[in-house]
A and B are shown apart, each in its own frame.
Chain A
Amino acid sequence: MANPLKVYVVEDDTMQGEMVKDHLSGKGYSVKLYNTGEAFLKELETENPDILVLDYNLNSVDKTAMEGIDILKRAKDKNADLEVIMYSGQDSIDVAVDTMRYGAFDYVVKGEVAFTRLDFIIGKIRKQWELQGNEQRYRKLSTWLIALIGALVGAIIVGLITGAIVI
């Protein structure tokens, strides 16, 4: 079996974090839960997660903790390929736009439907990776074909010049 997708979660609310972790583990992902963004950033120096589910309000418990948006910026600086799903209780377009401006893939509002939304968004991320993979394969194939045609044309020209090919 292929390695499971590494989905890390940063959430300072114990119950909320546990629910997201349980839900994603149940989907077969390799899940790690951090209760501060700082702890996650430290781990990011040695770990290489695929997706991060990041709480927007990270100072409800520790009032001095860094906010989700700051963690998002730093995480993207460290690993631009990391896809970040912002997770918040605020159903606000402004907040959603703001997080996406800083590189979040999507935004989920906490609540009963949040878990289905998370599944849907992770599916979208995987689809995007698949398309990017196909694009890279096509690019490699077209480069190879151009090189082959170039070599053939070159060989024909050399053949014509040297008389090896007579029309």
Chain B
Amino acid sequence: MALTDLAFLTNFTKGDNAKMKKYINMFLDIAPKSVAEMEQYNADKDFDRLKVVAHSLKPQVSYMGIKHLETTIKEIELFAGSKTNTESLPEKIDYFKTECAKACEELSTAAAKL
């Protein structure tokens, strides 16, 4: 089953392959860096910075149609922002990291075909 859905991006770019490729490549560049930052900030217990990173990543996950990670990234932002349930953050970040890596592989393949 597909982990990503490019319907929004197709509609947004009006099917312009070059633009779609540009946005996908931007996400492929940003996502791993953001995940690494989230891990680091969580390890440092810097929940304010963790919230900021999750907050920035949230709409991008949605634009790439990674529906199953939308709730996870929202929870990371919420828990880090409110500094509640912080004990669940390592697991959530880990899940996000694994699933996002899979989604990025799929996006990379999709971009190569454009």
Question: Interface residues, chain A, CB within 8 Å of chain B?
Answer: 13-16, 18-19, 22-23, 57, 59-60, 63, 89-90, 110-112, 114-115
Task: Tell me the B residues contacting A by CB distance below 8 Å.
Answer: 8, 12-13, 19, 22-23, 26-27, 30, 49, 52-53, 55-56, 58-60, 62-63
Docked-complex contact A57 and B59, CB < 8 angstroms: no
In the assembly, what is the distance between CA of A59 and CA of B48, in Å? 12
Going nearest first, the 5 A-B pairs with the smallest beta carbon separation are: A15-B26, A110-B59, A60-B52, A60-B56, A89-B55
Are B53 and A60 within 8 A (Cβ)? yes
Contact of A89 among B12, B23, B30, B56 (CB under 8 A): B56
Instruction: Give chain A residues whose Cβ lies under 8 Å from the Cβ of B63.
Output: 15, 19, 112
Cβ contact within 8 Å between B52 and A16: no
Inter-subunit contact B30/A19 (CB<8 Å): no
A89-B59 CB under 8 A given contacts A18-B23, A18-B26, A19-B12: yes
**Complex: A143 Cα to B18 Cα, angstroms:** 56
Across-interface contacts of A60 in B (CB, < 8 A) = 52-53, 55-56
- Complex CA gap A119/B63 in Å reads 18
Residues of A within 8 A of B62 (CB): 111-112
Residue ID in chain B nearest A16 by CB atoms: B59
Knowing A57-B52, A60-B52, A60-B53, the reply to whether A111 touches B30 (Cβ < 8 A) is no
Q: A-B pairs with CB below 8 Å: how many?
A: 44
| Closest A residue to B58 using CB positions | A89
The SS class assigned to the B binding surface is: helix
Closest Cβ neighbor of A90 among chain B residues: B55
Query: Can you show 24 pairs from A to B with CB atoms below 8 A apart?
Result: A13-B56, A14-B30, A15-B23, A15-B27, A15-B60, A15-B63, A16-B56, A16-B59, A18-B22, A19-B63, A22-B19, A23-B12, A57-B52, A57-B55, A57-B56, A59-B52, A60-B52, A89-B59, A110-B59, A111-B59, A112-B62, A112-B63, A114-B59, A115-B12
Tell me the bound Cα distance from A59 to B26 in angstroms: 19
Residue numbers in A under 8 Å from B22 (CB-CB): 18
The listed residue (A19, A59, A90) touching B23 by CB distance below 8 A is: A19
Whether A16 contacts B60 by the Cβ 8 Å rule is: yes
List residues of chain A with CB within 8 A of the CB of B26. 14-15, 18
Specify which of A15, A18, A59, A114 lies most central, judged by the most chain B CB atoms within 10 Å of its CB: A15
How many Å from the CB of B12 to the closest CB on chain A? 7
Kindly state the separation between the CA atoms of A23 and B22 in the bound complex, as whole angstroms. 14
CB-nearest residue of chain A relative to B54? A89
Chain B positions within 8 Å of A111 at CB level: 59, 62
